[in-house]
Amino acid sequence: MTAAEKPSYRVIGTRPIRPDGVEKVTGKALFGADARPAGLVYGKVLRSPHAHARILSIDTRAAEAFPGVLAVATARDLPAASDEVQALGETAVNLKELSDNVLASDRVLYRGHAVAAVAAASVHVAEEAARRIRVEYEPLPVVLDVREAMLDDAPLLNERLLTRSMGKTISDRPSNVASKVQFVGGDVEKAFAEADAVVERHFTTKMVHQGYIEPQTATVQWNPDGEITVWATTQGAFACRGQLAEVLRRPASTIRVIPMEVGGGFGGKTPVYLEPVAAILSRKSGRPVMLTMSRSEVFEATGPTSGTSIHVKLAASGGRLTAAQLDLAYEAGAYPGSSVSAGAMTMLAPYDVENFKIDGYDVVVNKPKTAAYRAPGSPAAAFALEQAVDELARAIGADPLAFREASSSREGTRMVNGMPFPRIGHEECLRAAMESAHYRSPIEGPNRGRGVASGYWFNAGMQSSVTVAVNTDGTVNLVEGSSDLSGTRASLAMQLAESLGIEYSQVRVTVADTDSVGHNDVSGGSRTTFATGLAVHQAALDIQQQMRTRAAKLWGCAEDEVVYEAGSLRCTTDEAKTLTFAGMAAQSARTGGPINGRASLLARGAGGAFGTHIADVEVDPETGKVQVLRYTAVQDVGTAIHPAYVEGQIQGGAAQGIGWALNEEYYYDDDGRLANASFLDYRMPTALDLPAIDTVIVEVPNPGHPYGVRGAGEVPIVPPLAAIANAIADATGHRFSDLPISPRRIVETLHHLE
Amino acid sequence: MRRTQVQARLNGADVDFLCEPRQSLLEILRDELGLTGTKEGCSNGNCGACSVMLNGRLVNACCVLAVETDGADILTIEGVADGDQLHPLQQAFLEEAALQCGICTPGFIIAAKALLEREPDATEERIRYWLAGNLCRCTGYDKIVKAVQRAGVQMKGSAS
């Protein structure tokens, strides 16, 4: 929008320092592994060396007898979990499978699958003792590739797994295909027959990891009275509690989850892995127990995002996209539940395509159970679609951005599920990209090329609760329950200050434990600044209303004659009667007691958002190295509450996407052994690998939020895979359809072409 | 296992502790001395989250055995601020929004401090090269590089 249309805000749009900033630059902030309850002991998990095997027996006697060992746990210590599905942010989890994933009972489904655990006074003793546990395995055939797993004669991970679709079972014999989704519209055959140009291509991507720097860790104290305290690094303390309550079969109220600072999550810190095991070890040892994963355990045993195989056929007619036939197969990992349906729903979102047929398959393979990773499902889908769109634009001789604009979704365009888009900002992003200095500059020189790509993410609403206590000195305490992954304490405090008309410095924010605030869903789906922000705004309105009621009584006027505006109360019928926020706060005790605002809600009106990225690269044909020369990320965020933190989200997402495009992959050998389970071999971008990432913030306000917030965190990881691939195609004249586009792949491909 | 007594200087004060030969400096800092500001990200020297200064050299505390530090001078993130006066790097990280989750921040500040004390005029390229031993997954590094540049200017100004 233009500056003239934008509402003028006092606090929103400024760049104050985050409330948790000083603690984090001085080393005082306490992250998951920094919990130190009295009497703390440490544990270690024993993991499967096989990618697929039946567990015949587990003999823990030697470990139990090892000097210094306090407790040993196996799946026999876990109660039987119910076979039901619990919503978990953007994903859902079957609790029986969750329980089996936490400690395998009869079968291991991937290398690194937890089998047993030991607690001891020192982690070294626990590790030595764990090695003395004897597990007898019967190895089973392994299946690792998504398309191979779909074949009729593929080894089965679960002999009871039947394919489901739309809540119904659609197969009569077991397979590795857990579910199928389908979206159909228009007449695809006819559109292809009448098209000016058709492009058809197959794409693959490998499993990649979120790569948060803080490994999973959990500390649990189980008291003899059954009260359980958990120090967790989690994107959602309540989701952690809910999973734990279910796996342990304990009432939710007996479990208190204390959210420690989270050292990166990106979706990966929503499932529980260690908490139930630490709980069992604590119950058996009588001590608080901390379990922390090594980096290789994080890679092998937590949830990466799916490897995918995607077939795309597109048609253009009259200068725009007219038809799409898409087939997506996503690896779920060891248990069902990949992000394929999100991939299928987001893939065509940027475009108004009349004719489409989309099939998606959720497929189990002998790899770790996948978890959410930033816009789960969408980046791989965009990698495939946006390359094909690029190819189609070239085929008809159109500018790639102009072709996208001509085909773009806008308000009222129907998504593939039939729902019309509310106000969205894809066209605004495309125009901002076209007008950017970057896109208007020439790209010159040998082996250099430019690529563009768009991407979409729904953004989420879900549940939030907050309370705001007004202190008699005019300061306020905001108590919320959304894990702060990136500065949301600041974005929430800013909205509260804006809504109450007070200063940011008057707000103190606490992310509370599960006993101290109402339910909050996970910090995921880019929802916190939007949905918890909505709750904060409602709590502010609650305070305003309470203050108006009190002022009316004080002044002897009617309540509707009292106006709250810009941090002050005034009487519309008597100009002499005014009170500041602080003045009213000071009179709390005389006017009815403490003033506390509260809100709890299920947020509707989440604003889906788009981004368009531009990448310039140079490819060294000798070494295959790709240098990103220049990168610009354009994104509609609705309204940027704290622009610096929004820029940071966009830059960070783009960096992850660049790593995904060029280097990152789970590299398995034929037996299902992950060959690169370290930061040395799983090559994430360093400061030296990246250019400065320029950001262009587009603000098309979300009508579903009082300040227009859409959410910012996930969209930026969607376009980079394709933007980089399109740039490499421009530079080399060859289209790479498999990720990562690593130096080896480039050298081999270009050499082969010669 | 038999423990060895170690005496060292830690953040400007004398310290002594007992450690097993297999314990890393990182483990002793965090679990024995209670200094949890130094973070564990990988424990094999690849991520830099446990960066500390050892006798004026930048090292990964996970790759140093605690018994090696007898007589050494160690600086951790807890010793970077001067009382309640933040170091220019700490202030610059706040003002440039150079942290998101914050787990890598102590390591970056220690590593950047080691650079700027030698080369306050370090170029962007040089900063990116020097910091390539520290992984950040949240920021894409741009704001970290800008914060280091800003702190360099300030440190030079206060030194002259």
Tens-digit pLDDT profile for residues A619-674: 999 999 999 999 999 999 999 999 999 999 999 999 999 999 999 999 999 999 99
Given this chain, do its domains B4-79 and B88-159 carry the same CATH topology? no
Q: What is the residue extent of each domain of chain B? A: 4-79, 88-159
* Fold classification of B4-79 (topology level): Ubiquitin-like (UB roll) (3.10.20)
Which H or E run includes A656? helix A643-662
Q: Within an 8 Å CB–CB cutoff, is residue B137 touching chain A?
A: yes
> Residue with structure tokens 């309850």?
A37
Asked if A687 lies within 8 A of B20 by C-beta distance, the reply is no
The reported pLDDT for the residue numbered B160 is: 59
Per-residue pLDDT, A84: 65
Q: What is the mean pLDDT of chain B?
A: 96
Quick: pLDDT tens for A229-274. Answer: 999 999 999 999 999 999 999 999 999 999 999 999 999 999 999 9
- Residue A403 burial by CB count (10 A; 0-12/13-18/19+): exposed, middle or buried? buried
Please, which pLDDT band fits residue A1 given cuts at 50, 70 and 90?
A: very low
Residue contact B134–A687, C-beta within 8 A = yes
What is the Cα Rg of chain B in Å?
16
Token pair of A143, please?
A: 């299946």
CB contact under 8 A, B102 and A29: yes
Q: Is A152 exposed, middle or buried (0-12, 13-18, 19+ CB in 10 A)?
A: exposed
Handedness of CA A125, A128, A133, A137 (dihedral sign): positive
Q: What is the pLDDT of residues A407-420, one digit of tens each?
A: 999 999 999 999 99
Express as a percent the part of chain A with pLDDT over 90.
Answer: 96
Yes or no: say if A48 and A140 are a contact pair by the CB < 8 Å rule: no
Count of beta carbons in the 10 Å neighbourhood of residue A86: 14
Contact (CB<8Å) A27/B142: no
- pLDDT recorded at residue A88: 59
Question: Which tens digit of pLDDT belongs to each residue from A21-40?
Answer: 999 999 999 999 999 999 99
Average pLDDT, chain A: 96
Count CA atoms closer than 13 A to A508's CA, side-chain side.
8
Residue A3 has pLDDT above 60, yes or no: no
pLDDT at A2: 44
Condensed to tens digits (0 to 9), the pLDDT of residues B6-25 reads 999 999 999 999 999 999 99
The dihedral through the CA atoms of A369, A373, A375, A380 has a sign that is: negative
For A462-603, the fitting CATH number among 3.20.20.10, 3.30.365.10, 2.70.240.10, 3.40.50.720 is: 3.30.365.10
Closest to B139 (Cβ–Cβ): which among A29, A651, A686? A651
Residue B152 at interface with chain A, using a CB cutoff of 8 Å: no
Mean pLDDT score, B114-138: 97
pLDDT grade for A753, boundaries at 50, 70 and 90: confident
**One fold for both A425-457+607-753 and A462-603?**
yes
- DSSP string covering B48-89, please? -TTEEEETTEEEEGGGSBGGGGTT-EEE-GGGTSBTTB--HH
CATH class of B88-159: mainly alpha
The residues, any chain, with a CB within 8 Å of residue A261's CB and separated by 6 or more, are: A20, A24, A29, A30, A31, A32, A233, A484, B101, B102, B103
Predicted local distance difference test score (pLDDT) of residue A86: 64
Task: Read off φ and ψ for residue A456, nearest 5 degrees.
Answer: -135, 145
C-alpha A416/C-alpha A619 separation (Å) is 37
Using an 8 Å Cβ cutoff, are A41 and A70 in contact? Answer: yes
Q: Would you say domain A425-457+607-753 falls under CATH 3.60.90.10?
A: no
- Best of B63, B103, B146 to substitute, by most chain A Cβ atoms within 10 angstroms, is B103
With an 8 Å Cβ cutoff, are A33 and B30 in contact? yes
Q: Taking each helix axis from N to C terminus, what angle separates A743-753 and A720-732, rounded to the nearest 10 degrees?
A: 30
The per-residue pLDDT for range A509-553, each reduced to its tens digit, is: 999 999 999 999 999 999 999 999 999 999 999 999 999 999 999
Contact B99 A21 (CB under 8 A): yes
Q: Are A149 and A176 in contact (CB under 8 A)?
A: yes
For chain A, give the longest Cα–Cα distance: 90
Task: Find chain B residues with C-beta within 8 A of A688's C-beta.
Answer: 128-129, 131-132
Residues of chain A contacting B76 with CB distance shorter than 8 Å: 27
Using an 8 Å CB-CB cutoff, list chain B residues near A20. Answer: 102
Q: Which amino acid makes up residue A650?
A: I
Q: What are the residue boundaries of the structural domains of chain A, listed by start?
A: 425-457+607-753, 462-603
The pLDDT tens digits of the residues spanning A228-240 come to: 999 999 999 999 9
Q: What is the pLDDT of residues A44-88, one digit of tens each?
A: 999 999 999 999 999 999 999 999 999 999 999 999 766 666 665
